[in-house]
């Protein structure tokens, strides 16, 4: 039987950082100081383009593994499963635990092992491993869960996405405004029917000229030259790649599952920025001969959460299930398409029937 999302959990950091609180920040772009406009004008343009008004930031004492543990704990409690019966814990992240004092990345022991320890799981047959796959990491973990459960290798699997992206971007970079912190988790089990759970999935990796669209690089400021590496992005190239590849991989899933686009209840996309999410949806529907997509099929939370990397999809799913976006939530029989894109470059998609 296919894998089925039994329950979810999420951790939203307590600190909300609105754009208007950053008016004293000094921005650089590609190493050049931005003199042409006042910071207020830069922030207004950023808000207009991305529709991100604020972002969630973890407190200094809260690590990625801590956030992941809290999200996992909620998923286990909601799922009503004995934690000692969990066969695998798969944790997607990109930087490990990062201190606020510096941005050096701590990945040993791996985050899945840390989360298993925090959960107090003693069973040595519960295997805990990490995935480093850019923003699509959590969804790729879910794809692996489906293979594990279909093969009979596992009954229950916990898949977690957690990142403190705010600690690997630099305050001098305009692109830093996109990113935030957060964690989401899903507990998965075998579906009771071959017609529910994961119906189809697909992943593509383009790693030639696309390799450096998102990368770690030196600071734009000489003052922070020795402080480590920071997330750098070729925003225009990422946008063009996502607009081309995400609709294609979703369509591949629809065809594989023999599902009509019109029958999908929700499209839960990676929350990179609202402009990109809406452009992808418009392109997808246009390719299927539909002029406009219904707004209620495309929940978006990046307006106030920001882009927290691997955590965007599981946290948004958790919100939709909890009726945070409408009173309907997710009902039995609903078809949900998940899709993500990120560093590598990688793109993936999945269709799940609840």
Say which of 93, 270, 318, 352 is annotated catalytic. 270
Interval 169-215: pLDDT, tens: 987 788 888 999 999 999 999 998 999 999 999 999 999 999 999 99
- Residue 279 in contact with residue 243, Cβ under 8 Å? yes
Q: What is the dotted CATH code of the domain comprising 197-353?
A: 3.40.47.10
**Would you say 56 and 308 are in contact if contact means Cβ atoms under 8 Å apart?**
yes
CB 173 within 8 A of CB 220: yes
Q: What is the mean pLDDT of residues 320-325?
A: 90
* Rounded CA separation 162/186 (Å): 12
pLDDT tier at 225 (50, 70, 90 boundaries)? low
Contact between 273 and 178 (Cβ < 8 Å): yes
Among residues 273, 301, 307, 308, which one is catalytic?
A: 307
How high does pLDDT run on average in the chain? 92
Matching residue, tokens 């997710």: 330
Q: What is the pTM of this model?
A: 0.92
Q: Is 273 a catalytic residue?
A: no
Extents of the domains making up the chain: 3-190, 197-353
Q: Map tokens 């019966």 to a residue.
A: 85
Provide CB contacts within 8 A for 216, sequence distance 6+.
168, 229, 230, 231, 232
- Where do we find the tokens 């955590």? 311
Question: Which phi and psi angles does 76 have, rounded to 5°?
Answer: -65, -45
Q: Where are the alpha helices (DSSP H) in the chain?
A: 39-50, 64-79, 111-119, 137-150, 235-257, 274-287, 302-305, 312-321
Smallest CA-to-CA distance from 53 within 64, 63, 44 is with 44
| Topology of the domain comprising 3-190 | Peroxisomal Thiolase; Chain A, domain 1 (3.40.47)
User: Residue 261 has what pLDDT?
Assistant: 95
> Is 135 annotated as catalytic?
yes
Name the active-site residue from 93, 94, 135, 308: 135
Is-contact 203 140, C-beta < 8 A?
yes
- Give the pLDDT band (50/70/90) at residue 40: confident
Whether the per-residue pLDDT at 28 is higher than 70: the answer is no
Quick check: is 206 catalytic?
A: no
């Amino acid at each position: 039987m296919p894998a089925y999302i039994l329950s979810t959990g999420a951790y939203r950091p307590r600190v909300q950082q609105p754009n208007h609180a950053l008016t004293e920040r000094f921005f650089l772009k590609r190493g050049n100081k931005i003199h042409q406009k006042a910071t207020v004008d830069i922030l207004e343009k950023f808000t207009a383009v991305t529709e991100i008004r604020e972002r969630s930031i973890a407190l200094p004492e809260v690590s990625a593994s801590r956030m992941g543990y809290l999200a996992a704990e909620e998923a286990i409690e909601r799922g009503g499963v004995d934690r000692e019966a969990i066969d695998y814990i798969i944790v997607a992240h990109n930087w490990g635990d990062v201190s606020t004092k510096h941005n050096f990345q701590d990945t040993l022991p791996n985050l899945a092992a840390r989360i298993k320890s925090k959960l107090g799981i003693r069973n040595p047959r519960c295997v805990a491993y990490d995935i480093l796959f850019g923003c699509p990491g959590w969804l790729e973990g879910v794809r692996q869960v489906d293979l594990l459960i279909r093969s009979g290798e596992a009954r229950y699997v916990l898949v977690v996405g957690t990142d403190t992206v705010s600690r690997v971007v630099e305050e001098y970079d305009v692109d830093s405004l996109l990113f935030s912190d957060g964690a989401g988790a899903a507990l998965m089990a075998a579906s009771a029917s071959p017609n529910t759970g994961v119906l189809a999935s697909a992943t593509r990796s383009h790693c030639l000229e696309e390799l450096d669209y998102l990368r770690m690089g030196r600071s734009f400021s000489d003052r922070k030259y020795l402080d480590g590496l920071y997330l750098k992005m070729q925003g225009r190239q990422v946008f063009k790649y996502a607009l081309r590849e995400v609709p294609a991989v979703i369509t591949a899933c629809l065809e594989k599952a023999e599902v009509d686009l019109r029958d999908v209840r929700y499209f839960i996309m990676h929350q990179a920025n609202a402009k990109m999410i809406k452009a992808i949806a418009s392109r997808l529907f246009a390719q299927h001969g539909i002029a406009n997509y219904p707004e209620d099929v495309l929940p978006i939370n990046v307006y106030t959460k920001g882009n927290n990397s691997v955590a965007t999809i599981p946290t948004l799913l958790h919100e939709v299930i909890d009726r945070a976006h409408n009173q309907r939530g997710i009902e039995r029989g609903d078809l949900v398409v998940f899709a993500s894109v990120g560093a590598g470059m990688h793109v993936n998609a999945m269709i799940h029937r609840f």
